[in-house]
Chains A and B, each alone.
Chain A
Amino acid sequence: MSSVVLVDSGGANIGSVKYALARLGVEAEICADAEEIQRAAKVIMPGVGAAGAGMARLREHGLTELIPTLTQPVLGICLGMQLMFENSEEDNTPALNIFRGGATRLPDRPGLRVPHMGWNRLEMVKPCALLDGLGDDAYAYFVHSFALPVNDDTVASALHGEAFCAVAQRDNFYGTQFHPERSAGVGAKILENFLSL
């Protein structure tokens, strides 16, 4: 049994996430097999790309029913997190319906660049084990054009024109809109926190 699996959701960042875990001493397996995912101690859903293609890929592997029923800690990264919400405006995609709300396109107005790309500060909203040990000055690396609203599942937000959900949590499900695998020490701390849940 592999203790940490990376769901093969077709994202190009899957290798980077695997390397980030390796730097923390954990060899994660890339996997699309429902049984193996169910047996894993921790599940990470990386994801880069479009929502429609991401959901299609999960459906193809028969994972859309399984993922919301998992009881071990599950971490969605970037698109992987967006797919854990109810739906996405991108490609009008119904998603996994774990967190409340849907992803909408970031407002495109003068002076506000879309994609939102770069380092942004995490505004802590409520305590969450994933964010243990991070101070008020924690910056994470974001790259995205769609975002989730701040709501009850939001544990940290970030500001790009308006506040959006940067980290979500509901029970055993966690999501980061940013890329912990590319967020230097802050990201490594978050992954370490997830691994010790």
Chain B
Amino acid sequence: MLARRLIPCLDVRDGQVVKGVQFRNHRVMGEIEELATRYRDEGADELVFYDITASPEGRQVDVSWVSRVARVIDIPFCVAGGIRSVAQAGRVLEAGADKISVNTPALENPDLIGELALAFGSQCVVVGIDSLDRDGPYTVKQNTGNPDLMSDANRSTQAWLSEAQDRGAGEFVLNCMNADGARSGYDITQLKLLRTSCRVPLIASGGAGTMAHFADVFREADVDGALAATVFHSGAIPIPDLKSFLRDSDILVRP
């Protein structure tokens, strides 16, 4: 049986790990390799690095830190941000990343998902979706790394997830923007809804504040993994404590 995955997300900006509230006001949290090693040692199951500066500024991800991370850690990691072509994705994977995640570039050019799946296999291709609930259907936002450039992608979250899945996405990270940074729990209603049409692994993102929030999202929304940043970076929820809490709640986690 698959264990549920705990995934610290490290937002990378100008070579450092940062975190903002509702994607704004970023604060520096620490150095990339140092945090990657700390999480590996604490029992994180996977790491996600979002280069949040790359996409809005039209830059591609800097692969030098990717290979530095690949040398020091022995758990899987995914790199997101500014990957716009098969060639760029290939460089990131060759540098040692296990998966690449596309968000805004896939919205701008949906063919990219199929091209990546064909070149590297669906298992390497994660699609990140930034979803906002505005008293109606959930809608997708793009360029969320930069508040000045953030815009509506003019797509419903459910339609985009289905389309991306048909095009070859092997995993989804659903960033529920209403919940992000609020620490009042994952958006279970939304995740549950999207779970029904998602046949590949689904990762919850945005809203973790307590250990119970993790148990709730695994139990109620049946997600494969839960991603969080602040609660892990700040030390508010140590991963070993979270794992024993989840084990006591009868949720299967890796020892």
- A15–B74 touching, CB < 8 Å: no
For A78, the closest partner residue in chain B by CB is B123
Contact residues in B for A16 (Cβ distance below 8 Å): 70, 96, 98
User: B122 in the interface, Cβ–Cβ < 8 Å?
Assistant: yes
Q: How far is the CA of A74 from the CA of B232 in the complex (A)?
A: 40
A49 touches B255 (CB 8 A): no
Asked if A183 and B200 make an inter-chain contact with CB atoms under 8 angstroms apart, the answer reads: no
Enumerate B177-223 residues with CB–CB distance to A below 8 Å.
199-201, 222
Q: Is A114 within 8 A of B94, CB to CB?
A: no
Q: From known contacts A12-B120, A19-B71, A182-B74, infer whether A137 and B199 are also in contact, taking CB-CB under 8 Å.
A: no
Which of B1-9, B27-35, B51-59, B101-109 makes up part of the contact surface? Answer: B1-9
Give the complex CA separation of A121 and B5 in angstroms: 13
Q: Is B67 an interface residue (CB 8 A)?
A: yes
Chain A residues in 8 Å Cβ range of B225:
118
Residues of B contacting A121 with CB < 8 Å? 1, 3
> A160 and B2 in contact (CB under 8 A), knowing A117-B171, A118-B45, A137-B255?
yes
Q: Are B71 and A113 within 8 A (Cβ)?
A: no
25 A–B contacts from the bound complex (CB under 8 Å): A12-B90, A12-B94, A13-B98, A16-B98, A22-B71, A48-B120, A48-B123, A48-B124, A111-B222, A113-B199, A115-B123, A116-B2, A117-B123, A117-B170, A118-B2, A118-B3, A118-B5, A119-B3, A120-B2, A139-B255, A144-B123, A145-B123, A160-B1, A179-B76, A187-B74
A residues near B (Cβ < 8 Å) are 12-13, 15-16, 19-20, 22-23, 48-50, 108, 111, 113-121, 137, 139, 141, 143-145, 159-160, 179, 181-185, 187-188
Q: Which 10 A-B pairs have the closest CB atoms?
A: A12-B93, A139-B254, A115-B123, A119-B3, A119-B254, A118-B2, A143-B123, A182-B76, A19-B71, A15-B96
